[in-house]
Homo-oligomer: A and B are copies of this chain.
């Protein structure tokens, strides 16, 4: 683009503004190419030689130019209007397009002083990129200004909305890649606009970058008609603005004009809603930026199109360091950005271009919201003990375990009405947490009908987020947490697997942030309640039986993972309180919603949960001596059945010494060398003995216990029961029997494993077998379990 040409293109930018913004963008692109190719001679002060080229070329060029293009134009408005904006880069492998701006704004050098704003700093900045042990080609936690890695695609837009909730002055600019736009999670995240309130929330400005290609394929949205594309975004509830082309000057003017309009529209929407106090769903603006993949890169390489093709996705040509033609191509490409106009002799961005960046925390690369831990305020928590259920005696009263938690969460909501939200897929009431509506209803910005008045619990101003998309909910929650707030997600246990991959990625983000990025402040933990668990799927059946999410959790870094299985309502309260106070973890709590017997008073619960694993004295009769058998359990239903088995043993074999151990904190079962919560060998031995049979009744897949505990001495005597994929439409007892976690099978297990019982207790074993048959028969005849199953008369 020569100055002459650019003068003839009309738009909001005058010639000088156009020249500068284009220069700033050229500087970004220059840095992107430098990151991918150069290890020395960063400013081309000497003729480029193969010595200057990285030995191994890694990294991704294709998505980068459009990212820094959008960044440059957002900067113009941030400066002009003093906006508060964060930037989310959805396109995979787009890091160069974000790292460049962050370096030009000075943030990178502030955070990493050795990547200083001079020639040597730039050289290091180039070299570290996609280099072993250093930084990757995604917008990883090491990237200042980022709350979204983008290594796995699909979550940018949900993250953006999560960041915008309760941040009324924030605009979240979210570049969505057209590859990512094909994923399911992204395709439904557009509907997040039905949950954004223009009065109390900020705005999201989606910028769909149609660069046309993925790794090796065109993208769907770039290959449908303009009519369809426009209709789709109108259908999603947006007002789409199109910026299409490839000539930089034209594109600058178009983009400037469209960003002006979009920001003005956002302000108008917000002003009107805030002044009137009426929050109706507006048609929010969004931008479709159709620009070539690898924009400004070589047009063709070896006779094949490069710019505007999938061929520019990664490293456009690999022979820069090994062939003279490759080297020449690289040098021409780099020189096309005219670096001498962009950087001074010391490698510092030219003064006139420095002025284009906002200052301090207005810089998107330094916006505090993108290091949300700095803004985080601890929750004001009521005393969870006030929500306890009364427990007079072990296992007498029944309660829905999650209901008191709902009451506690209601008051957590009340006390923290701008920085705490609850997220669940249409199941808040189903999971018995409906008390929360007493503090705040469900967010709803779509249409209302008169009948919603009768129990709909919907409100424009609600803070309970319900949408039938676990992906969107968890995406919102992550965005909300990473910008410094607090949240609680609950879901049906089996369907937590829908977001397995999001869990993996968030765990990796936290692990890296916590252990390798010292400037990232601690964020609130992600709290996940799994309810409607495997053992209570009487009406949902086999598809709803899957306790395997916690298996996945145990694969991730011990420094960020916690799993709790509180056996009753009071222990659940104690665990939840602990989780809500914590930072930088993913806390997974497994607790069923149905009525269950209660075991511990709130004071006992606190002691038990603090230890994480403990001997229940009332259920034990080993009097501190060596027991004949250890009956261990973990999980609400597993605990009930283990306790019932212990009661049977007490009644029929009163001199059998049984030690009853309950586990709340699953990681107690790993050695403390493996997980910070783990038991020492000595502690494990003293609880579980070194040589006595341990019957372990577990909530989940039984082999998970072996996976955790295999290093302990008594592992060879550990006999675990758990869910074994045997189920259908079943009564609770029937399902327990099918998977052998029921009281009767547990008694048989004890008899089979305690040598002295094998003859003595033959009769009891027969009795148990009969009970099993009888209970199955009853269930199949009546469709329910025997009433006495829960109304057990405990002998202790």
Contacts and interface: CB of A to CB of B under 8 A. Distances in A.
A538 interface: yes
Contacts of A231: 231-232, 234-235
A701 B216 contact: no
Nearest to A450: B305
A699 interface: no
A707 B135 CA distance: 34
Interface stretch (A11-19, A185-193, A753-761): A185-193
A275 interface: no
Interface string A195-228: 0000000000000000000111111100111011
A131 B447 contact: no
A351 interface: no
Contact of A216 (B237, B429, B538): B429
A494 B133 contact: no
Interface stretch (A258-266, A499-507, A628-636): A499-507
B223 A446 contact: yes
Interface string A122-135: 00000000111111
B182 A783 contact: no
Interface string A484-500: 00000000001101101
Contacts of A140: 541-543
A105 to B, nearest CB: 24
Nearest to A427: B215
A5 to B, nearest CB: 26
A454 B136 CA distance: 31
B730 A133 contact: yes
Nearest to A184: B184
A136 B427 contact: no
A404 B716 CA distance: 44
Interface stretch (A328-336, A383-391, A549-557, A679-687): A549-557
Contacts of A446: 218, 220, 223-224
A406 B218 CA distance: 22
Nearest to A54: B783
Contact of A552 (B215, B466, B543, B552): B552
Interface in A347-381: none
Given A223-B447, A504-B548, A543-B149, A731 B132 contact: yes
Contacts of A552: 497, 500, 548, 551-552
A151 interface: yes
Contact of A442 (B152, B217, B540): B217
The contact size tier of chain A is 35 or more
A538 B447 CA distance: 49
Q: How many copies of this kind of chain does the complex include? A: 2
A453 to B, nearest CB: 10
A328 B769 CA distance: 43
B218 A458 contact: yes
A723 to B, nearest CB: 9
A449 interface: yes
Interface in A150-201: 151-154, 179-180, 182-189, 191, 194
Given A235-B231, A235-B234, A542 B184 contact: no
A659 B376 CA distance: 56
A428 interface: yes
Contacts of A455: 304, 311
A456 interface: yes
A136 B220 contact: no
A229 interface: yes
A154 B495 CA distance: 11
Secondary structure at the A interface, as helix, strand, loop or mixed, is loop
Contact of A539 (B130, B218, B442): B130
Given A132-B780, A427-B215, A780-B133, A542 B151 contact: yes
Contacts of A135: 729
B430 A215 contact: yes
Contacts of A426: 179, 214-217
B430 A216 contact: yes
B152 A498 contact: yes
Contacts of A137: 539-541, 729
A715 interface: yes
14 contacts: A55-B782, A56-B538, A132-B779, A137-B540, A140-B543, A154-B498, A186-B188, A217-B458, A217-B468, A218-B449, A304-B454, A504-B548, A703-B710, A710-B715
Interface of A: 54-56, 58-59, 130-138, 140, 149, 151-154, 179-180, 182-189, 191, 194, 214-220, 223-225, 227-237, 304-305, 308-309, 311, 314, 426-430, 442, 444, 446-449, 451-452, 454-456, 458, 466-469, 471-472, 494-495, 497-498, 500-501, 504-505, 508, 511-512, 538-544, 546, 548, 551-552, 554-557, 701, 703-704, 706-708, 710, 715-716, 725, 728-731, 734, 779-780, 782-784
Given A130-B539, A137-B541, 14 more contacts: A56-B783, A133-B729, A186-B188, A191-B220, A217-B426, A217-B442, A218-B444, A220-B467, A224-B446, A234-B235, A552-B552, A703-B708, A703-B710, A716-B716
The 9 closest A-B pairs by CB, nearest first: A232-B235, A151-B543, A184-B184, A136-B541, A223-B446, A187-B188, A497-B501, A58-B539, A231-B235
